[in-house]
């Protein structure tokens, strides 16, 4: 039994000696690798708040597109009668709405996500007017 205890003690001392021996470091290796990824193009425009053409309440739109060349936002609406007119203040832009029922309202160069406040101004309408906004990459 004493021999078994001595063997265990020897093993314990050897393990402690190995554990306390410093590791030898080799010169640091270097290398490189290349990672490529393809990100699909995505563009969207969402109304948070719809503006009222016959009232004075503003609307809020979030527009975003990751196209490197940018994007344009267009408005579609019912055609205006000859006696009707409406001006749209879209962010910093002022746009006279075309009688045809569609109009480019905003253009950005480069990718971005942003919120735009818009409202109607100088409105003379015979019926309600609702905008539908679309976005497309340039």
- The CATH number assigned to the domain holding 66 equals 2.60.120
Beta bridge partners of 96: 87
Q: Please indicate, yes or no, if residue 106 is contained in any of the structural domains.
A: yes
Considering its fold, how many domains does the chain have in total? Answer: 1
Is 80 within a domain? yes
Q: Let me know if residue 14 belongs to a domain.
A: no
CB 73 within 8 A of CB 103: no
Q: What is the pLDDT of residue 72?
A: 97
d(Cα 75, Cα 61) in Å, to the nearest integer?
12
> Is 60 within the bounds of a domain?
yes
* pLDDT for position 31: 85
pLDDT band at 3 (very low <50, low <70, confident <90, very high): low
Confirm if 71 and 109 have CB atoms less than 8 A apart.
no
Question: Taking the model in full, what pTM does it have?
Answer: 0.69
- Show the domain range for 81: 43-137
* Stretch 54-65: mean pLDDT: 90
**Can you give the pLDDT at residue 116?**
96
């Amino acid at each position: 039994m004493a021999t078994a205890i001595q063997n265990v003690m020897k093993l314990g001392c050897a393990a402690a000696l190995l554990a306390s021996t410093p590791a030898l470091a080799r010169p640091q290796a270097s290398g490189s690798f290349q990672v490529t990824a393809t990100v699909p193009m995505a563009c969207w425009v969402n109304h948070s708040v719809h503006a009222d053409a016959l009232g004075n309440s503003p609307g809020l739109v979030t527009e975003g597109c990751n196209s490197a060349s940018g994007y344009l936002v267009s408005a579609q609406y019912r055609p205006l009668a000859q006696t009707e007119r409406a001006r749209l203040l879209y962010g910093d832009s002022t746009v006279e709405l075309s009688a045809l029922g569609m109009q480019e309202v905003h253009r950005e160069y480069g990718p971005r996500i942003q919120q735009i406040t818009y409202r109607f101004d100088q409105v003379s309408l015979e019926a309600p007017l609702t905008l539908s906004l679309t976005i497309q990459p340039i």
